[in-house]
């Protein structure tokens, strides 16, 4: 009996478990069905709303098509031109002012211009030129030759440089004269070459006399003849101060340095007093 009672109790427990399980499944099924129905209704509502919107858009965009042109060409009925009565146009001549043919004289032309002095035309001083051969500016021995563009070592500075003239030895106070006729273009106290006189011989030829004494016999603008004394030999060229007293003499043709010894030729000097 006890065994049967235990079996019944066990069956009751299992039966209760299955009843609860079935009840849960039923509730879950009902919940799913309810959710499905709600979702279905909402989808139907959304679809109906969307279909309505589409129909409205179709109605708004339903633009009537243009009618086709008639197959037969329409012609306007012929009408006779109306006769327009116009009055004749009378053209009157323009009233123009008579052209004055009188000659009007300007007062400015009648007024006598004030008398003015004739303009003074400044002309460059005519420089005497000479076809004679030049004379030497100073009688003396050449102690430094023309380098003809080649570099030579300076006895004073020790620097390799070109020597663009010749050095003619002399004593302080020796007279230095112009080698030919020309115009004194420039006088300067050069920082390297000392007191320097430049003479323009008016044929593209220029002569330069360097290391002179400060007491010169000419001024800028003076015209000189061949042999005119321009000054005295000094010792003012610092760039060649280690050498004996001498005249540094240069000759240029335009901007090209010439060999002064070749230009001067044989050594002669003609001194003229002022």
Position 104 in a domain: no
Q: What is the pLDDT of residue 60?
A: 54
Whole-angstrom Cα distance, residue 201 to residue 268?
19
Q: Is 211 inside any structural domain?
A: yes
| Residue 248 neighbours by CB under 8 Å, 6+ apart | 165, 166, 167, 193, 210, 211, 237, 240
- Give yes or no: residues 46 and 157 share one domain: no
Q: Assess if residue 97 is contained within a domain.
A: no
Q: What's the pLDDT score for residue 107?
A: 44
* Same domain, residue pair 248 and 146: yes
Q: Chain-centre distance of CA 120, in angstroms?
A: 42
Q: pLDDT tens digits, residue range 73-101?
A: 555 555 555 555 555 554 455 554 554 54
Per-residue pLDDT tens listing for the chain (274 residues): 666 667 677 777 777 788 888 888 888 888 888 888 888 888 877 777 766 666 656 545 455 555 555 455 555 555 555 555 555 554 455 554 554 544 444 444 434 444 544 443 343 444 555 567 999 999 999 999 999 999 999 999 999 999 999 999 999 999 999 999 999 999 999 999 999 999 999 889 999 999 999 999 999 999 999 999 999 999 999 999 999 999 999 999 999 999 999 999 877 655 554 4
Instruction: Say how many residues make up the chain.
Output: 274
Residues 37 and 147 in one domain: no
Q: Does 187 map to a domain?
A: yes
Q: Is residue 234 part of a domain?
A: yes
The torsion angle over the Cα atoms of residues 17, 19, 23 and 28, rounded to 10 degrees, is 50
- At residue 78, the 3 state secondary structure works out as coil
Query: Is 273 among the domain residues?
Result: no
Number of domains comprising the chain: 2
The phi, psi pair for 104, rounded to 5°, reads: -95, 120
Instruction: Share the mean pLDDT of the chain.
Output: 78
pLDDT at 73: 52
- 209 strand-pairing partners: 197, 249
Domain that holds residue 28: 1-51
pLDDT at residue 37 in the model = 81
- CATH number, residue 195: 2.70.70.10
In-domain check, residue 31: yes
User: Is 159 in contact with 238 (CB distance < 8 Å)?
Assistant: no
Give CA–CA dist 70/35, Å, rounded.
63
- Asked if residue 80 belongs to a domain, the reply is no
């Amino acid at each position: 009996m006890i065994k049967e009672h235990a079996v019944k109790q066990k069956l009751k427990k299992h039966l209760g478990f299955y009843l609860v399980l079935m009840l849960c499944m039923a509730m879950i099924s009902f919940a799913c069905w309810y959710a499905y129905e709600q979702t279905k209704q909402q989808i139907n509502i959304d679809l109906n709303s969307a279909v309505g919107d589409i129909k409205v858009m179709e109605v708004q965009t339903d633009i009537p098509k243009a009618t086709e042109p008639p197959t037969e060409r329409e012609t306007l009925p012929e009408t006779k031109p109306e006769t327009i009565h116009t009055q004749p146009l009378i053209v009157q001549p323009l009233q123009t002012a008579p052209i004055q043919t009188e000659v009007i004289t300007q007062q400015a032309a009648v007024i006598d211009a004030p008398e003015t002095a004739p303009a003074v035309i400044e002309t460059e001083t005519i420089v005497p030129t000479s076809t004679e051969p030049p004379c030497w500016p100073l009688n003396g021995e050449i102690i430094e030759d023309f380098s003809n563009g080649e570099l030579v070592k300076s006895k004073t500075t020790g620097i390799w440089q070109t020597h663009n003239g010749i050095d003619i030895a002399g004593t302080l106070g020796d007279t230095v004269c112009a080698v030919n006729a020309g115009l004194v273009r420039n006088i300067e106290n050069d920082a390297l070459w000392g007191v320097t006189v430049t003479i323009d011989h008016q044929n593209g030829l220029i002569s330069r006399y360097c290391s002179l004494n400060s007491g010169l016999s000419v001024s800028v603008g003076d015209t000189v003849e061949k042999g005119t004394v321009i000054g005295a030999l000094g010792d003012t060229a610092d760039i060649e101060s280690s050498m004996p007293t001498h005249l540094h003499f240069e000759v240029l043709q335009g901007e090209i340095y010439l060999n002064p010894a070749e230009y001067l030729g044989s050594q002669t000097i003609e001194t003229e007093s002022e």
